[in-house]
A and B are shown apart, each in its own frame.
Chain A
Amino acid sequence: MSLVEVTDLSVEFGPLRAVDSLSFSLAKGAALALVGESGSGKSTVAGALLGLHRGTGARVTGAVRVAGTDVQAASDEELRRLRGAKAAMVFQDPLSSLDPYYAIGDQIAEVYRVHARVSRRHARARAVEVLDRVGIPDAQRRSRSRPHEFSGGMRQRALIAMALACEPDLLIADEPTTALDVTVQAQILDLLHTLRAETGMGLLLVTHDVGVAAESVDDILVMRHGGAVERGPVGTVLAAPAEAYTRELLDAVPRVDARRTGSPATDEVVLEAMGVRREFGRGKGAVAAVDDVSVTVRRGETLGVVGESGSGKTTLGRMLVGLLEPTAGALRYEGRPHTGVNPAVQMVFQDPVSSLNPRRSVGESIADPLRACGERDEERIRGRVRELLERVGLEPAHHDRYPHEFSGGQRQRIGIARALAAEPRVIVCDEPVSALDVTTQAQVVALLGELQRELGLALVFIAHDLAVVRQVSDHVAVMRRGRVVECGPADEVYDSPRESYTRRLLAAVPALDPELAAQRRAARREPAVA
């Protein structure tokens, strides 16, 4: 009998049909990845396996059997016995998925005691045991820590430990590594792999990242609009996709070995940072987010800045555009020292939601730089805004719409149009595509490239995704703990990294080829420190 048997599953949230007649099954001990872009319904499916839609107003039809339990028909009590004991779930954001007020060990013990009639002490011991199992060093002591005292990777390990506590038959991992840095992601994926090998439990992995799927599962199910597009062994699907959508999806995934082509780079230096430093806090508590960083941006060139969270890349970006004053060091624009904001240096922000004022029409937002530099002629402003909208690939008629009426990719285009309105020479892009689905991501990256060629813009492209950065950059600066550890032409840095940190980063990038992934995993066998 299959571990999971989903037949004709549909889930509706009001008028929205999130999952549409989906059927699939998962054998005991097998691993399946649900892959899809946002809105494809993959997380909704994961929730349906544990009956989490019950009581939320969602309409669930079809049949779901998990580890012998008919989820649709089960009583609340039966459902509770299924949850955690037979099928356990690991969530995306490990910080918010744990109760901030209780020690990690207590939370695991609490869950354990729901399913096992054991004493408090016994449950605590079990918690320490599973924490040790997932590679938490000094588990006895650390089990008394609260979630915020753990690093992101450790928290995800703790969540996995919680899932392991009752020895479930099925582990459902919903975007388990999305919130993590690439090196930590590799460790967590390795851990899942090892655990599966040792316990023989089944794995249902929900992810938007094809690379992550390639690393971890046997079978892959590509989803779109709530339905299945393609299902097959991971090697087959990735190597020879049968469906056009799958191909499109795979093509859009940036490759870490893809070089940049057709760069309009010149030698003319536009913007320079010299030994900039930025501290936050005062006195003894001051922390340097950026420390003694010097970078040069040339006309027509893209400078990529990569680094993991906390490396100071966003702070650097904000200093380059003048939103933050450097504590020390100086900026030079076209050879002249300068401070504060400068219309010629613009920025494209990470979050397309928060970078547009929800209460103003997009046309108004784009017109801001025009008005700010003194333009009063409404006709000309309107004309210029329509032109800009058109230039970034949007309908000029959308001038009067509000941000929430646009998709993420479209909003990012609006952000670009606003930056362009100031006729900048430099645009600092702070994670411009990391909130977007891969297909959209590719389009936005392409747009930026076009604009650069056309307008001779200098771009600073800040991202955590090594593959994207390689795709767009002429030069690359690798940042770690506020400093640039390695800087040079992109090809040099990627192909023959000098620093071991750079090498570690590159080794952690998931490969699309499952065999390559297996090789890399073997190579990575270093102490698991998240």
Chain B
Amino acid sequence: MNGLTGFVLRRVIGAVVTLFALSVIIYVVFYVTPGNVAQITCGPRCSPAQVHQVAQQLHLDDPLYVRYGHFLQGLFAGQDFSTGTSVEHCAAPCLGQSYQTDQQVTDIILAKLPVSFSLVLGAMVIWLLLGVGTGVLSAWRRGRFSERVLTAITLAGVATPVFVIGLVLMIVVCGELQLLPFPQYVNFTDDPEQWAWNLLLPWLSLALVESANFARLTRASMLETLAEDHIRTFRAYGVSERAVIARHALRGATASVIALNAVTFGSAVGGAVLTETLFGLPGVGQELVHAVKVVDLPVVVGMVLVIGFFVVLANAVADVLYAVADRRVVLA
């Protein structure tokens, strides 16, 4: 498939350009961000001499382009870091080392990604069920009372910030009713059952926030499809309304739902900051917010690149899925 190859190639080039631009922007923005990084790293009561030593060690006194050069060098050729007693090599692609914790950024990301994925994957199942289900029902029961109620429920998810939904859910479900334990992240590989139980509330909270989008999209696409000529064909051939909705109208909405899902997934991997924070899930978003607060540039750049990568990837996947689901679309 020549079209697909060309599409993939263009997307890869586009993604690389986008990610590089992102890293440059982050470098520039953080260069001008207030906060004496060396002082933060060293501690507030470090003497000027000590701060200077730390700054030297972290190359903080170098001009911006030199520091960015270091970053690129690490990315393509790897970098060496001193632990004091020995020298550690960080092989390419090396995203550098945290100013604050001396951990390698790649290790931090690898530790956080599974958490974010666990959160978003489970939430995805719920938001799809909830969102698409509501969308279908509201398209079907258009204009009736039950539709209004369903719409109101999903909108409540949009209108109420996740930190409110999540906290109230937690207080009621875990604290007062004691139906679930207070969420505490457990590795899937350690105990899949505990993993799921502990993530249930975070999943629900995140899904409540996202599902309204899916409900709205499903409903709109279905109504769009229901207005199309081919629906008339099947009605004119005696196909029941239920079958028309289930088989034809819903099928018409799948392509868009799949596309929205890919994009939502991509942005939630790094964007579910509030959910992660509230439930104490050590995911990408929470780590990133912390890194921004302490001006930990290598971590910020590394994480933004990884998150950006997922967003770009999700968008490309959305396009491919959309084209696969709707064969009429030509990838361009």
Interface residues of A (CB under 8 A from B): 50, 52, 79-85, 88-89, 91, 93, 96-102, 110-111, 114-115, 146, 148-149, 159, 162, 284-285
Provide the B246-285 mask, 1 if CB < 8 A to any CB of A, else 0: 0110011010000000000000000000000000000000
Closest-CB distance, A103 to chain B (whole angstroms): 11
Do the beta carbons of B230 and A96 come within 8 Å of each other? Answer: yes
Do the beta carbons of A101 and B233 come within 8 Å of each other? Answer: no
Q: Given A83-B235, A101-B251, A101-B254, 11 more contacts at CB 8 Å? A: A50-B236, A52-B236, A84-B236, A84-B237, A91-B232, A101-B325, A101-B327, A110-B234, A111-B234, A111-B237, A148-B327
* 3 nearest A-B residue pairs (beta carbon): A84-B237, A83-B238, A96-B229
B239 on the interface (CB 8 Å rule)? yes
Q: What are some 25 contacts across the A-B interface (CB < 8 A)?
A: A50-B236, A52-B235, A84-B236, A89-B233, A89-B236, A89-B237, A91-B232, A91-B233, A91-B236, A96-B229, A96-B230, A98-B233, A99-B248, A100-B230, A101-B251, A101-B252, A101-B325, A110-B234, A110-B247, A111-B234, A111-B239, A114-B239, A148-B327, A148-B328, A285-B2
Which of chain B's residues has its CB closest to A283's CB? B6
Distance A150 CA – B325 CA, assembled complex (angstroms): 18
Do the beta carbons of A97 and B252 come within 8 Å of each other? Answer: no
Closest-CB distance, A86 to chain B (whole angstroms): 10
Distance A149 CA – B252 CA, assembled complex (angstroms): 18
Do the beta carbons of A162 and B230 come within 8 Å of each other? Answer: no
B residues within 8 A CB of A111?
Answer: 234, 237-239
Do the beta carbons of A162 and B237 come within 8 Å of each other? Answer: yes
B residues within 8 A CB of A284?
Answer: 2
Do the beta carbons of B236 and A83 come within 8 Å of each other? Answer: yes
Closest-CB distance, A347 to chain B (whole angstroms): 28
Do the beta carbons of A52 and B238 come within 8 Å of each other? Answer: no
Closest-CB distance, B231 to chain A (whole angstroms): 8
Which of chain B's residues has its CB closest to A100's CB? B328
Which of chain A's residues has its CB closest to B233's CB? A97
Distance A500 CA – B120 CA, assembled complex (angstroms): 64
B residues within 8 A CB of A149?
Answer: 327
Report which of A114, A146, A162 forms a contact with B327, defined as CB distance below 8 A. Answer: A146
Closest-CB distance, A235 to chain B (whole angstroms): 32
Do the beta carbons of B327 and A85 come within 8 Å of each other? Answer: no
Closest-CB distance, B321 to chain A (whole angstroms): 14
Q: How many positions in chain B have a CB within 8 Å of any CB in the partner chain?
A: 25
Residues of B101-127 at the interface with A, using a CB-CB cut-off of 8 Å, are none
Which of chain B's residues has its CB closest to A284's CB? B2
Do the beta carbons of A88 and B234 come within 8 Å of each other? Answer: no
Closest-CB distance, B239 to chain A (whole angstroms): 5
Do the beta carbons of A80 and B327 come within 8 Å of each other? Answer: no
B residues within 8 A CB of A110?
Answer: 234, 239, 243, 247
Q: Which of B2, B235, B252 has the most CB of A within 10 A?
A: B235
A residues within 8 A CB of B235?
Answer: 52, 83
A residues within 8 A CB of B85?
Answer: none
Closest-CB distance, B168 to chain A (whole angstroms): 41
Distance A88 CA – B235 CA, assembled complex (angstroms): 11
A residues within 8 A CB of B238?
Answer: 79-85, 111, 114-115
Distance A50 CA – B237 CA, assembled complex (angstroms): 9
A residues within 8 A CB of B327?
Answer: 100-101, 146, 148-149
A residues within 8 A CB of B239?
Answer: 80, 110-111, 114
B240 on the interface (CB 8 Å rule)? yes
Distance A284 CA – B229 CA, assembled complex (angstroms): 35
Distance A84 CA – B233 CA, assembled complex (angstroms): 10
B88 on the interface (CB 8 Å rule)? no
A residues within 8 A CB of B234?
Answer: 99, 110-111
Do the beta carbons of B237 and A101 come within 8 Å of each other? Answer: no
Closest-CB distance, A51 to chain B (whole angstroms): 9
Distance A247 CA – B247 CA, assembled complex (angstroms): 48
B326 on the interface (CB 8 Å rule)? yes
Residues of B288-331 at the interface with A, using a CB-CB cut-off of 8 Å, are 325-328
Do the beta carbons of B237 and A97 come within 8 Å of each other? Answer: no
Do the beta carbons of A98 and B230 come within 8 Å of each other? Answer: yes
Which of chain B's residues has its CB closest to A87's CB? B236
B residues within 8 A CB of A88?
Answer: 236-237
Do the beta carbons of B229 and A91 come within 8 Å of each other? Answer: yes
Distance A109 CA – B165 CA, assembled complex (angstroms): 48
B228 on the interface (CB 8 Å rule)? yes
Distance A284 CA – B252 CA, assembled complex (angstroms): 32
Q: Which of B230, B236, B240, B247 has the most CB of A within 10 A?
A: B236
Residues of B64-101 at the interface with A, using a CB-CB cut-off of 8 Å, are none
A residues within 8 A CB of B237?
Answer: 83-84, 88-89, 111, 114, 162
